[in-house]
Amino acid sequence: MDNLQRSFLFEAVEDAKGRTILSEIESVAKKAKSMSVFEITRGMLDDEFYAGLIKKSIDMGLVVAAHKGFSQKAEGDSQEVLLFFLPGEEVWRIPAYISMKKAFSDDPWSDGLETLHSSLLGYSESQIRSWIDDHNRRHVGWLGPTCYFLVNHTQWNAISKLANRCIDPSMRMSCCQRGRTYVAHQSNSASLRGFLRVT
């Protein structure tokens, strides 16, 4: 792939990201949801894209607030900032969101935290349930990547004996590495029966 083709791909990704962020903010302005929040760096606040986004949001009648993030690692322009977009009557959501982030900063993400997070953004119970159900169909958990691999019938039977939740450590599998967790995907679909997910 030559440089021209590669740069075209990266520009398309940046443009898609910008459209996604703008559509999120437009959803707030149309009251389809109550709040949008983005984690950016302090240096990005001066970026032309974010400066324009903030101006557009204010023109749409939204309140824009920036709050210092919780990461202690970065300083200066790379310091994390939470950028909030919401209507004036919903500003109570900012301290509630910050309190949630502080209270659970050391806890692993879960369905419960995703429910709280989504409700603070203003999604309905049915939207939250649908989102979590969809996520759980595609991923083992909230942390780490999900990978698929094939197992034979002997390996699958051994996994079934372990309640379909892990791979028997005594099994010889070329994909198993020490220090990794392997979790079985539970599905009623016969076509997916031989696949496992790795987190």
In this predicted model, what pLDDT tens digit does every residue of 61-87 receive, in sequence order? 999 999 987 766 666 666 888 999 999
3-class SS at 150?
A: strand
User: What is the average pLDDT across 136-162?
Assistant: 73
User: What is the average pLDDT across 84-102?
Assistant: 94
Beta bridge partners, 54, equal none
User: What is the average pLDDT across 26-45?
Assistant: 90
More confident residue, 105 or 95: 95
pLDDT confidence of residue 165: 64
Q: Which of 23-32, 145-154, 159-168, 175-184 has the highest mean pLDDT?
A: 23-32
In this predicted model, what pLDDT tens digit does every residue of 42-51 receive, in sequence order? 888 888 888 8
CB 37 within 8 A of CB 84: yes
pLDDT confidence of residue 190: 38
Whose CA is closest to 30, among 73, 68, 87?
87
pTM: 0.64
Question: What percent of the chain stands above pLDDT 70?
Answer: 65
User: What is the average pLDDT across 116-145?
Assistant: 85
Instruction: Report domain extents, the chain.
Output: 3-89, 147-198
Right CATH number for 3-89 from 1.10.3470, 3.30.1710, 3.30.450, 3.20.20? Answer: 3.30.1710
User: What is the average pLDDT across 165-174?
Assistant: 64
Residue 62, C-beta contacts closer than 8 angstroms, at least 6 positions apart: 25, 28, 29, 85, 86, 87
- Reported as a pLDDT band with limits 50, 70 and 90, residue 58 is very high
